[in-house]
Amino acid sequence: MPEVRLNLITREWVVIATERARPPGDFRQWKEKRYQPERLESCPFCPGNEETTPDEILRLPAGGPAPRDIDGGWKIRVVPNRLAVFAPEGGVEREVSGLRHRVCGAGRHEVIVESPRHDMCIPLMQAEDVVNVLGVYRDRFIEVYRDMRVEHVIIFKNNGEASGTTIQHPHSQVVGMPVTPFQVRERLEEATRFFDETGECLMCATLRDEQKDGRRIIAETGHFVSFIPFAALSPFHTWLFPKRHSASFADIEDEEIADLAKNLMATLSRLYYGLDNPDYNYVLRSESPELHHSKCFHWYLSIVPRLAPASGFALGTGMYTNNSIPEDIAAFLRNVKVP
In a domain, 296, yes or no: yes
CATH code at 253?
A: 3.30.428.10
86 within a domain of the structure (yes/no): yes
Residue 339 inside a domain? The answer is no
* Tens-digit pLDDT profile for residues 98-151: 999 999 899 999 999 999 999 999 999 999 999 999 999 999 999 999 999 999
Indicate whether 244 belongs to any domain. Answer: yes
Task: Please report whether residue 223 resides in a domain.
Answer: yes
Does 247 map to a domain?
yes
Identify the DSSP state of 87. B
- Sign, Cα dihedral of 254, 258, 259, 265: positive
Residue 126 belongs to a domain = yes
Please name the residues in contact with 285: beta carbons below 8 A apart, sequence gap of 6 or more: 154, 184, 187, 299, 300, 301, 302
Q: How many domains does the chain have?
A: 1
Of 176, 264, 269, 187, the C-alpha closest to 221 is 264
Give the predicted TM-score (pTM) of the model.
0.94
* 61-75 confidence digits (pLDDT tens): 987 444 434 556 899
Q: Which residues contact 335 (CB under 8 A, 6 or more apart)?
A: none
pLDDT in tens, the chain (339 residues): 899 999 999 999 999 998 889 999 999 977 666 678 999 999 999 999 999 999 999 999 987 444 434 556 899 999 999 999 999 998 888 889 999 999 989 999 999 999 999 999 999 999 999 999 999 999 999 999 999 999 999 999 999 988 999 899 999 999 999 999 999 999 999 999 999 999 999 999 999 999 999 999 999 999 999 999 999 999 999 999 999 999 999 999 999 999 999 999 999 999 999 999 999 999 999 999 999 999 999 999 999 999 988 778 877 887 889 999 999 999 999 999 998
Provide the domain limits for residue 127: 3-334
Query: What whole-number distance in Å separates Cα of residue 89 and Cα of residue 54?
Result: 14
- Distance, in Å, from the CA atom of 180 to the CA atom of 97, rounded to the nearest integer, reads 20
Query: Looking at the domain assignment, is residue 272 inside a domain?
Result: yes
